[in-house]
Amino acid sequence: MDQLLRDYVEKLKNDDLLLPAWYEAGKIVMLDQLKLPKEEYIELEDMEGVAKAIKDMVIRGSGAIALAGIYGIIMATFSSKGDAEEIRKAGEYLKATRPTAVNMHKTVDMLCKDMGGFSKDELVQEMQKRSIDIMEKQLDVERRIGKAGADLIKDGETILTICHAGGVAGFGFGGRTLSVFRTAIAQGKNIKVISCETRPYFQGARITAWELKKLGIPVVLITDNMVGAIAQKGMFDRVITGSDRLAINGDTANKIGTYMISLVAKAHGIPFHISTSKYNIDLNAKSGKDIEIEMRDSSEVTMINGERIAAEGVEALYPGFDITPNENITAIITEVGALEGPFVEKLTKLAQEA
């Protein structure tokens, strides 16, 4: 029943990839990103387990969440033995886990589209074919984003980034931003990366720095509140971050703290880039005001590794993302090249191809 998918995953394991999750012997094996830089893997036996991993941020990053969505649909397909209605229900369940994750929403919708006309056995095979096709296209997208971004970078530059938009945040090559860094290195450019630690989950410290070190790319870690100070000293030449969702005017939702960095970059005349793909563009969002910002539990701010860091009774806020306005963005790096503003026509056209 699962031979197509098993053969494809075997091929992926032989490529030079940083896989965040894969199918193996009737279960999903997933890197627990909450434990990084310690490499631990969990095994998920059903769609509900995949959904919980998405919601609990065991897996994160727009591409990786989309990949998890694929595997959630696959598990629902196998468990229901190709029941289209059960697969559709699974799709809605998965999409509800992360309201800002437009890439996953689109991916699930693509998988669940036009399921009529198949027998149950045929649908099991069809869903595997669709999943493999999306994975192949996404890996190609990551490589093309890498080329478009790397061509902007000059030899000897230091690039600042926040959060994590790398291989285990994508489909394995380099997600969005790491694709740019590893392609620049492949082009023979001598670069260095400054990674913001990224409170409250420390994705920059735990994941971005880990991936860069793993790939041999020089990295320096800073706390999020150091960005202004090191910009004053001229310690970085460019900013490249990922994105979780784009409005068609170029306003961008990314990890909380991105907007502040864009203000610092603008004040100091430092190029600020978003790395993304057509799958992250929301045609229903005319501007950043139309993007829902996920409010997460305050305990994620007041607790670290199960230990309280604030006094009992102290409340906290945690909007998971902020909106960087398009006027702060020098160029948006995509699979079709680096796009400069105005963005509406360019992003609308790109999104319509998704």
Locate tokens 């969005």: which residue?
176
Bond prior to 271 in cis (omega within 30° of 0) = no
d(CA 39, CA 54): 18
Peptide bond into 342 cis (omega under 30): yes
What was the pLDDT predicted at 129?
97
Average pLDDT value over all residues in the chain: 95
Catalytic residues: 244
81-91 tens-digit pLDDT? 999 999 999 99
- Rounded distance between C-alpha atoms, residue 56 and residue 24, angstroms: 22
- What number is the average pLDDT over the span 35-51? 95
Residue 289 pLDDT > 80: yes
pLDDT one-digit tens code per residue, 215-260:
999 999 999 999 999 999 999 999 999 998 999 999 999 999 999 9
CA distance 328 to 343: 12
Q: What pLDDT is stored for residue 276 in this prediction? A: 94
Q: Give the DSSP H/E element, type plus range, for residue 84.
A: helix 84-95
C-alpha–C-alpha distance, residues 8 and 62, integer Å? 22
Confidence of residue 306 (pLDDT cuts 50, 70, 90): confident
Spatial CB neighbours of 118, under 8 Å, sequence gap ≥ 6: 82, 84, 126
CA distances from 248 to 98, 119, 271, 291, 352 (A): 20, 39, 21, 11, 11
93 with 69: CB under 8 angstroms?
no
What whole-number distance in Å separates Cα of residue 310 and Cα of residue 116? 54
pLDDT of residue 146: 97
Helix (H) or strand (E) holding 178: helix 177-186
Q: What pLDDT band is residue 354 in, cutting at 50, 70 and 90?
A: low
User: Nearest 5°: CA angle at 277, between 172 and 92?
Assistant: 80
Q: How far apart are CA 263 and CA 6, in angstroms?
A: 47
Burial profile 254-282: b = 16 or more Cβ within 10 angstroms, e = fewer: bbbbbbbbbebbeeeebbbbbbbbbbbbb
With a CB cutoff of 8 Å and minimum separation 6, the contacts of 351 are 248, 278, 281, 282, 283
Residue 206 tokens, joined? 């735990």
Q: What is the pLDDT of residue 178?
A: 95
pLDDT single digits (tens) 316-342: 999 999 999 999 999 999 999 999 999
Residue type, 219: V
Compute the distance between CA of residue 46 and CA of residue 13 in angstroms, rounded to an integer.
Answer: 22
Where b means 16+ CB within 10 Å and e means fewer, 132-144 reads bebbeebbebbbb
Residue located via tokens 């991105």: 258
Would the pLDDT of 99 be above 90? Answer: no
Give the torsion through C-alpha atoms of 105, 110, 112, 117, to 10 deg.
Answer: 170
Instruction: Give, for 123, the enclosing helix (H) or strand (E).
Output: helix 120-150
- The answer, as to whether pTM is greater than 0.85, is yes
